[in-house]
Amino acid sequence: MKRLWGLALCLYVLVLVVCPALARMNVATTVGGGAPAAGGDCPAAGTYDYYWNGDHSSGTTYVCYDDGADINGTLSGASINSGGYSGNKFDATEHNQHLYWSGTIDVNKGVIWVLFSTSDTSRTGNIYFMETHDAVNSEFVRVYVETDDTVSAVYDGGGASETCSSTGTIAEDGSWQWLGYSWDIANDDHAVYVNGAWEDCNDEGFTVLTATAHIFALGEKLAGSSFTETYALDNYYYIPNTYKPAVPFGL
């Protein structure tokens, strides 16, 4: 009888502890060399903090959050449509269109990734496609494509900013390509990712972000440009305490 009670207790613990973990891991079904499949919700636990691909089972604006309940983001101006790399995609057709949510940023070290696509060769301004900022918009991280098709990123700790710009350029043929930005403030380093490689920008004198509570955005929320541009985004990742990792998955 004692053995039966012991077996029952073990099974009970298994259900309470292991099954939820497996349920979370089960959403990591992949396509395209590693992207969570359409309808697959979130990547494997421990590989990200925030993740969006438009395919969450709770709705297209839901953002996976690795440390708690997934977050329903707010969509403004932009649209979410089929035709993404792994299901749906974020589509913007002009400035100030975005999807945003509230979160927490690692001010000292981190990386943000996104799959980017555009065939807009007639635009006249920058494409601001990833941002984070504090509650009063005085501190921010911003990533954008310049008019010459290079990629730049700004880390601004409140009036004192450092900019990292690439020499490599994006493709404008509608293909999906990884773009990213990573920062390591303790070592005065930051880098942008374009054309399959990190490009380093060693700067000194970073003013560190003081607020860890940030608004995260796909698209342009803070920059406030007045240009028209057409582009799409998919598979956004924010990963804290990581500098210049390999891309989340191969294309």
Residue 145 lies in a domain: yes
**pLDDT for position 86:** 87
Q: How many domains does the chain divide into?
A: 1
Residue 247 lies in a domain: no
How far is 78 from 193, CA to CA, in rounded Å? 25
What CATH number does the domain containing 83 carry?
2.60.120.200
Residue 46 lies in a domain: yes
How far is 92 from 83, CA to CA, in rounded Å? 14
Q: Using alpha carbons, select from 194, 198, 192 the residue that is nearest to residue 169.
A: 194
**pLDDT for position 26:** 31
Residue 251 lies in a domain: no
Q: How sure is the predictor about 239, in pLDDT bands with cuts at 50, 70 and 90?
A: very high
Instruction: Dump pLDDT digits (tens) for 175-220.
Output: 999 999 999 999 999 999 999 999 999 777 789 999 999 999 999 9
Residue 246 lies in a domain: no
Instruction: Dump pLDDT digits (tens) for 106-148.
Output: 999 999 999 999 999 888 788 999 999 999 888 999 999 999 9
Give me 242's structure tokens. 């990581």
How far is 84 from 232, CA to CA, in rounded Å? 8
Q: What is the pTM assigned to this prediction?
A: 0.85
Question: Which structural domain, as residue segments, surrounds residue 66?
Answer: 2-240
Residue 225 lies in a domain: yes
Residue 245 lies in a domain: no
Residue 121 lies in a domain: yes
